[in-house]
């Protein structure tokens, strides 16, 4: 036997070795092609996931920025930035805003003098609260029935409704002021709440963000989101346009 295979209409044929080599080359080409397809498919999925994460973060940050921008005053700051910040603790910022433009913060009934009745669809006393235990960012309507506003000792965002951002792993709020005379480090052009606390009449040297809140006119929101093991930090600075003194 010669070990040669014949092709129809071709007496020359090809050897078994040539056939096996051809098959080997085809297998290699198919393997490479499938690998490229798989890598491309994974890249498309990753890109889509990143786009979804960006969109989710954008919606959450835009909502917080929109509301805080209209704030008349920040009422409570839980676990603010600074040396005492603890990423394992609840983080919250509570503020009040005259969204309906009637000149005051709405009450829970129509009997509040000069104010429109409480409107659940557009609350004017709001808290954004991050709960590390659940990796969830919540919005709390502090005037809703049965809701107890968060305090410095709170461990849960009780009464809150989840925002669209469901992949949040960290949330941090930094508080800034334009009282530049208290800027201990003037080279950075930023007056932090801790500098207010250590400053003159604006602070009380207790290491807690309390009376300094009346001089806070902007906040920096840091939201870290995670998806498939990848983390992405989103940051925005928001000025309080309607701050009351």
CA dihedral sign, ordered 131, 136, 139, 145: negative
Instruction: Please state, in angstroms and rounded to a whole number, the distance separating the CA atoms of residues 143 and 148.
Output: 9
Q: Residue 67 has what DSSP assignment?
A: H
CB 184 within 8 A of CB 195: yes
Burial of 16 (0-12, 13-18, 19+ CB in 10 A): exposed
Q: How many CA atoms lie within 13 A of 123 on its CB side?
A: 18
Q: Which residues, other chains included, contact 166 with Cβ-Cβ below 8 Å and sequence gap of 6+?
A: 56, 136
Among 212, 185, 188, smallest CA distance to 80 is for 212
Residue 112 confidence (pLDDT)? 63
CB 38 within 8 A of CB 71: no
Residue 165 confidence (pLDDT)? 64
Q: Residue 181 has what DSSP assignment?
A: G
User: 10-residue block means of pLDDT along the chain (245 residues)?
Assistant: 52 75 88 84 72 83 93 94 94 92 72 75 92 93 91 91 83 94 86 91 90 95 86 92 72
Residue 141 confidence (pLDDT)? 94
Residue 1 confidence (pLDDT)? 47
Count CB atoms within 10 A of the CB of residue 214. 15
Residue 186 confidence (pLDDT)? 79
Instruction: Please state, in angstroms and rounded to a whole number, the distance separating the CA atoms of residues 82 and 175.
Output: 9
Q: Checking DSSP bridges between strand 161-162 and strand 191-192, what pairing results, if any?
A: unpaired
């Amino acid at each position: 036997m010669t070990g040669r295979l014949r092709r129809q209409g071709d007496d020359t044929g090809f050897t078994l070795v040539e056939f096996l080599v051809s098959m080997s080359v085809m297998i290699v080409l198919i393997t490479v092609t499938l690998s490229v397809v798989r890598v491309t498919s994974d890249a498309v999925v990753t890109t889509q996931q990143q786009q979804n994460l960006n969109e989710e973060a954008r919606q959450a940050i835009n909502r917080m920025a929109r509301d805080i921008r209209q704030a008349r005053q920040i009422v409570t700051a839980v676990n603010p930035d600074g040396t005492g910040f603890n990423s394992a603790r609840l983080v919250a910022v509570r503020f009040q805003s005259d969204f309906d433009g009637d000149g005051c913060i709405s009450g829970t009934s129509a009997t509040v003098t000069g104010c429109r009745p409480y409107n659940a669809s557009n609350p004017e006393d709001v808290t954004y609260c991050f709960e590390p235990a659940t990796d969830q960012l919540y919005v709390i309507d502090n005037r809703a029935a049965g809701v107890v506003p968060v305090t410095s000792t709170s461990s849960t965002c009780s009464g809150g409704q989840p925002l669209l951002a469901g992949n949040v792993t960290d949330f941090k709020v930094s508080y800034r002021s334009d009282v530049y005379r208290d800027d201990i480090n003037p080279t950075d052009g930023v007056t932090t709440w801790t500098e207010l606390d250590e400053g003159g009449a604006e602070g009380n040297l207790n290491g807690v963000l309390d009376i300094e809140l009346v001089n806070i006119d902007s906040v920096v929101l840091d939201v870290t989101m995670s998806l498939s093991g990848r983390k992405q930090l989103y940051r925005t600075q928001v000025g309080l346009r309607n701050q009351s003194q």
